[in-house]
Amino acid sequence: MNIKGRIAPGNLGDRTFGFILRFFSWATIALFLGMLVFLAQLSWEAIQTYGPKFWAGTDWNPPMEEFGAAPFIVGTLASSLIAVLIAAPVSVGTAVFLREIAPRQLSSFVAFLVELLAAIPSVVYGLWGVFVLAPVMRDQVQPFLAEWFGPETYFASALGHLATAFIYPFSLIGNLFGVWQISLSELSVKMMAIAHGLFDGPPLGLGLLTSGVVLAIMIIPTVTALSREVLMTVPDSVREGALGLGATRWEMIRIALLRTARAGLVGSVILGLGRAIGETMAVTMVIGNRNVIPNSLFEPAQTMASVIANEYNESDGLHLSSLAFVGLSLFLIALFVNLFARLLVRYLERGRYA
């Protein structure tokens, strides 16, 4: 399959062309490494001052020259997670609808619209978030969520128990190695506090939840378009195999379409996640910009991208260096997510084509 043509040594045209191609390929790699070096250089002061403790530090206080990135890491991960939790089912569902259920003309028309949505600049989504979504969140959605899932609801208690049960085995391992000393009751109290605080507090409109929703709406077009492409690659013969076996339409979607396209669908969701992690403008506009780890999804927060956008303009010295360190960390997280996505897709696809 992989035939590599050798560049004929004597032919000047071939040699020049080969040189140009090689130059551009290496230039990409150089650019990547150059960015890494530049960021490391700029953040050197902060790296020397804090080291890895930078990521655990919860205080970010420029006037006092105190810098810890934990609030932003939490903000980025939480808002992206909310975005993916909303966007993944919506996008995959839409893609299945477009592939399987909608008539062909409607399908291509809607697919076209979806791709148009992907072209809207993020600042426009931000404006919409501030002036349309935030009031709706404040007046309708958040009061509703607080009532059904807020403090002292069955949902919060159940979630707290579930989280305790899920994390307890890990805490045992932590105990074993002495890195994390916590008893079951302490763990339970902590988890309960988190669960009951999730939808607590005054509905402000601007905050973590709203930024997650805006991010979800921003990545839905991308993830939908990619998922649709992935589903289109499932051969009709596989679908017919399921139908011929007496599968209903839903069963066919499950065993022939989704199972076959599983790897690609996960890949498209993770590409969306990557976009959500790095998104800056829209998030900065709706997240509320508060440099503290939020206790509630209603509270204002700050992401790694938004803190850089907010503060780089009036920063210098250790502050600037710390911002660069946040940027470097974001770079690494994005890299890690991509790497993880590739490994996951490869794992899911193993042995698929022999």
Q: Is 238 in the site for other proteins (CB under 8 A)?
A: yes
Residue from 59, 65, 186, 240 binding other proteins (CB under 8 A): 240
CB of 84 to other proteins, least distance (A): 22
Residue from 248, 335, 339, 346 binding other proteins (CB under 8 A): 248
Q: Is 268 in the site for other proteins (CB under 8 A)?
A: no
Tell me which stretch binds other proteins (CB under 8 A): 41-49, 161-169, 185-193, 252-260: 252-260
- On the 0-12 / 13-18 / 19+ scale of CB atoms within 10 A, 343 is exposed
**DSSP state string for 119-186:** TS-HHHHHHHIIIIIHHHIIIIIHHHHHHHHSTTSHHHHHHHHHHHHHHHHHHHHHHHHTS----HHH
Q: Is 70 in the site for other proteins (CB under 8 A)?
A: no
Residue from 52, 237, 313, 314 binding other proteins (CB under 8 A): 237
- Give me the helices (H) in 205-316, please: 208-232, 236-244, 249-252, 259-278, 281-286, 304-311
Tell me which stretch binds other proteins (CB under 8 A): 52-60, 149-157, 194-202, 233-241: 233-241
CB of 112 to other proteins, least distance (A): 19
CB of 260 to other proteins, least distance (A): 5
Contacts of 144 (CB under 8 A, 6+ apart): none
Q: Is 104 in the site for other proteins (CB under 8 A)?
A: yes
Residue from 190, 241, 293, 331 binding other proteins (CB under 8 A): 241
Distance between CA atoms of 225 and 117, rounded to whole angstroms?
10
In this complex, which beta carbon is closest to other proteins, that of residue 62 or of residue 241?
Answer: 241
Q: What is the total count of residues that contact other proteins (CB under 8 A)?
A: 25
Q: Is 233 in the site for other proteins (CB under 8 A)?
A: no
Q: Is 334 in the site for other proteins (CB under 8 A)?
A: no
**Residue for token digits 């791709």?**
115
CB of 103 to other proteins, least distance (A): 8
Q: Is 107 in the site for other proteins (CB under 8 A)?
A: no
Distance between CA atoms of 206 and 214, rounded to whole angstroms?
11
Q: Is 253 in the site for other proteins (CB under 8 A)?
A: no
Q: Read off the DSSP letter of residue 288.
A: B
**Is residue 126 within 8 Å of residue 279, measured between CB atoms?**
no
In 237-247, which positions are buried (b, 16+ CB within 10 angstroms) versus exposed (e)? ebbeebeeeeb
Residue from 36, 143, 189, 262 binding other proteins (CB under 8 A): 262
Distance between CA atoms of 303 and 319, rounded to whole angstroms?
16
Strands 66-67 and 60-61, bridge-based pairing: antiparallel
CB of 257 to other proteins, least distance (A): 9
CB of 227 to other proteins, least distance (A): 15
Q: Which helix (DSSP H) or strand (DSSP E) does residue 66 occupy?
A: strand 66-67
Tell me the Cα Rg of the chain: 24
Binding site for other proteins (CB under 8 A): 104, 235, 237-238, 240-248, 251, 255-256, 258-260, 262, 350-354
